Structure 1
Amino acid sequence: MVAGRISTGVPGLDVMLHGGLIPGRVYLVKGSPGTGKTTLAMHFAMAGVANGESVLYITLEEPAENIREDFGRMGFDVYHEDFTLIDATPTTEHYVLVEDFFETFAKNLNKLTESIKEQFRVRRYSRVVVDPITMLKLATKDEIDYRRAFLTFVKSMMRLKVTVLITSELERTDIEEYLVSGVIEMKLLERDGKLMRAIKVTKFRGSGFDNVIRPYEITETGMVVHPDRTVP
């Protein structure tokens, strides 16, 4: 690992990033459903756990029990004491809980920002995952309000000096791409009648990066990027 960088947990992707992510910044992973955004996010989270860091993972779409089951089967240490998984999905079960994580974390982007800051008063985290931010954007009717809220989110996370990875399923992520420090795009392409996965880094402030579209795979043990190959 290059000095001053932190691992994404995906060795081939670290190569594309010339050594990994710059800590203390906010990064966006975008792609259509099924591209593996949550898998990449889990690699990022588990790389922090493996490094002795405390990690906060907020799921806004996939129930926590599904995440633990699926990624536990792949060999990820999803029950580690340094891994905090908060289920903020809008399912009916949450309305009978004493603490309603959907209302506190996922009602809107400002709520999410304040709830994360509240978590930091209890425990110091070095990595945070928000997966995905899509529903929060769709729930905000006024575009100007969302832009203002997203700017507040980014500034708040940088003040906390935490490395944040957010995922999005939307093709148009204008304000997010403008304000974050890096953008990683995951795609499903059709080649000779077969689906192929491709990844590219479209933005990485403060560093050079590999701007070639590279193939990747989702295997039984996670994500594998091939930084020495090109997409035909």
Structure 2
Amino acid sequence: MTAILLEDCPSGIPGFDEATGGFYRGQLVLVAGNAGSGKTTFAAKFIYEGAKRWGEPGLYISTGESKEEFYAYMARLGMDFKALEERGLFRYVLFPTPTSTDALMNLSKELVSNAMEIKAKRVVIDSITPFLTLSPPLEVRAMLHNALKTITRTLKATTVLTVEVPRGRESIGAEVEEFVCDALIKLTLVVPEAGAPYRMMRVLKLRGRPLSRVAYEYEIGPPFGIRVLPTSLLEELESKISRLDRVPTGVKGLDEMLGGGLIRGTVVLIEGPPGSGKTLLALLIAAENSARGLETAYVSFEEPRQQLEETLRFLGYKPERLEKLSISSISPRALTLRGIYNVAEALHTLDRRVDLMILDGLTALSREFGSAFAQVMREIAFSAKRRGCTLIVTMISGLAVLNTIADTLIRLRVKEEEGELRRELAVVKMRMYSPEPKYRELKLVGNKLVVT
């Protein structure tokens, strides 16, 4: 038996091919999604990049949007389809919504005719939802599939079909199409009860490609049109971290427990109940290291900046004199999942390399975004390590993923003894060092934190 050689057909969508491997030539791709999820933009980007970058003629069949509307909207996203049309690399056909099998037969003929005429290598039908309501359903599907087979076999054209998924419904509902397609991609515009909307892509099927992940966040906007946001696997990071390169905390007794301080370029999780001293400890570490000349960025997701500055004054520091320390306070409700990552990335600029980054109050983000927040934290941790930046995060109770990616775990607790509250601290784990697994008292002596 002769082996079939599969020819790559990159989508051209930034981030998608890197994450999934892309499509193969002649495959049938079903893109499903709710209103506003970006189905049309995904399909348009696939056609546009194929024509512009690889000279592959594209045919776009629409059942709802005029060519003028399509061109105008895509131009705002950085795609000049008019220029491609003038070069003979693109054709847009508006077909009235079919109301009978006769109308669908005419569409099938027009689809094949146009594809053959321009020798299309990429075809889009946006969308097939109106066809799925026609009767008899088996006859309708047979017509559509026969037309697509003709295009695929004759031209080896890769075809993208879009289908609408009502908001709130998990199943796609395209039935047969889900089984005959080579790739199945579901786009979702997520509108949470609290927080800003965001978009998630699930690659449910991609024939010929091993899928290590299914879910990806993506965004739509100029000049890229649509792009899949990068993911980072901490397990693949070849770190140059040295256990001898330390960042002192400045807390008497704690550096001794840590064997000389935090290890530079690692991830540190400080967790404990309310009132246990997480913010106090994090602020002191920030102030001490900025005073030593380290570029330090402190971001709180719970407390206002003015309150943090007052706490610094209480600890004996003058915020205005800590030139290497930047403090900001951001409400979780003002962020998307990707916005959290962007905040952390924005702290690194061309003229400023952050040595120490502290993200205080991650509990608020966890409440806002749920389990999806964990993946963003993995990416932030990877980015910090790649830059050699020491990352400290605080929260009431660590997410499982944070416990996993944290190189050092410092746990605080509050105990009541004879009617008095006593704060205690333990270094639960520390990679590249074996701390003593024992709680010691954390207390204020004057205006300084000490561990005894």
Question: Which category describes the TM-score, using the shorter chain as reference length?
Answer: 0.7 to 0.9
Contact 2:280–2:311 (8 Å) recurs in 1: no
2:268 is the alignment partner of 1:27: yes
Match of 1:44 in 2: 285
Residue number in structure 2 paired with 1:82 = 324
Could you tell me whether the CA contact under 8 Å between 1:28 and 1:177 is conserved in 2?
yes
Query: Which residue does the alignment assign to 1:206?
Result: 432
**Structure 1: unaligned runs, 5 residues or longer:** 91-101, 227-232
Once residues 435 and 298 of structure 2 are traced to their aligned partners in structure 1, the CA distance between those partners, rounded to angstroms, is 26
**Residues 110-158 of structure 1, C-alpha deviations (whole Å, 9 max, x = no match):** 32222221221242110011111111111113x2x23322221211111
How do 1:79-118 and structure 2 match up within 5 A? 79=320, 80-89=322-331, 103=334, 107-118=335-346
Distance change in 2, residues 1:147/1:70 (3 Å): closer
Tell me the distance in 2 between the aligned counterparts of 1:70 and 1:147.
29
Please state whether the residue corresponding to 1:147 is helix, strand or coil. helix
SS of residue paired to 2:341: helix
TM-score w.r.t. length of structure 2: 0.44
Q: How many percent of aligned residue pairs carry the same amino acid?
A: 27
Structure 1 residue 56: deviation in Å?
Answer: 0.4
- Between the aligned partners of 1:189 and 1:28, the Cα distance in structure 2 is 21
The separation in 2 between residues aligned to 1:203 and 1:186, in whole angstroms, is 13
Structure-1-length-normalised TM-score: 0.83
Give the aligned residue type for 1:188: V
Q: 1:12 to 1:108 in 2, by over 3 A?
A: farther
Distance of 2:402 and 2:244 partners within structure 1: 27
Match of 2:358 among 129, 137, 145: 129
Q: How far apart in 2 are the matches of 1:212 and 1:124? A: 36
Match among 55, 68, 73 for residue 309 of structure 2: 68
Larger Rg: 2
Answer yes or no: is 1:183 the counterpart of 2:409: yes
Q: Is the Cα–Cα contact under 8 Å of residues 109 and 150 in structure 1 kept in the other structure? A: no
Aligned amino acid, residue 165 of structure 1:
I
Output the CA distance in 2 between the equivalents of 1:218 and 1:89: 29
* Cα distance in structure 2, aligned partners of 1:137 and 1:178: 16
What SS is found at the alignment partner of 1:148? helix
Q: Is the 8 A contact 1:108 1:139 kept in 2?
A: no
Q: Number of residue pairs matched?
A: 208
Structure 2 distance, partners of 1:134, 1:87, is 14
Aligned to 1:58: 299
CA distance in 2 between counterparts of 1:147 and 1:71 reads 30
Q: CA deviation at 1:160?
A: 1.9
1:113/1:156 contact within 8 Å kept = no
By relative contact order (CA 8 Å, sep 6+), the higher-ranking structure is: 1
CA drift of 1:223 comes to: 1.2
* Counterparts in 2 of 1:109 and 1:163: CA distance versus 1, 3 Å: farther
Q: Distance in 1 between matches of 2:406 and 2:366?
A: 15
Matched residue SS, 2:348: helix
Are 2:295 and 2:324, in contact at CA under 8 Å, matched by a contact in 1? yes
Distance 1:212 1:152, change over 3 A: same
Per-residue Cα deviation, 1:11-62 (whole angstroms, up to 9, x for no partner): 2100011111110111100011111111110121112112211110001111
Q: Residue in 1 aligned with 2:377?
A: 150
2:273 and 2:396 in contact (8 A); partners too:
yes
Q: Give the AA of the match of 1:6.
A: V
Displacement after TM superposition at 1:109 (Å): 4.7
- 3-state SS of the aligned residue for 1:120? coil
- Check if 1:8 corresponds to 2:249: yes
Aligned to 2:388: 161
Structural RMSD (CA): 1.8
C-alpha separation in 2, matches of 1:11 and 1:27: 18
Q: What CA distance in whole angstroms lies between the structure 1 residues aligned with 2:254 and 2:293?
A: 21
Letter in 1 for 2:323: E
Q: Partner amino acid for 2:391?
A: V
SS of corresponding position for 1:11: coil
CA distance in 1, matches of 2:387, 2:310: 31
Task: Describe the SS at the equivalent of 1:68.
Answer: helix
Gaps of 5+ in 2: 1-242
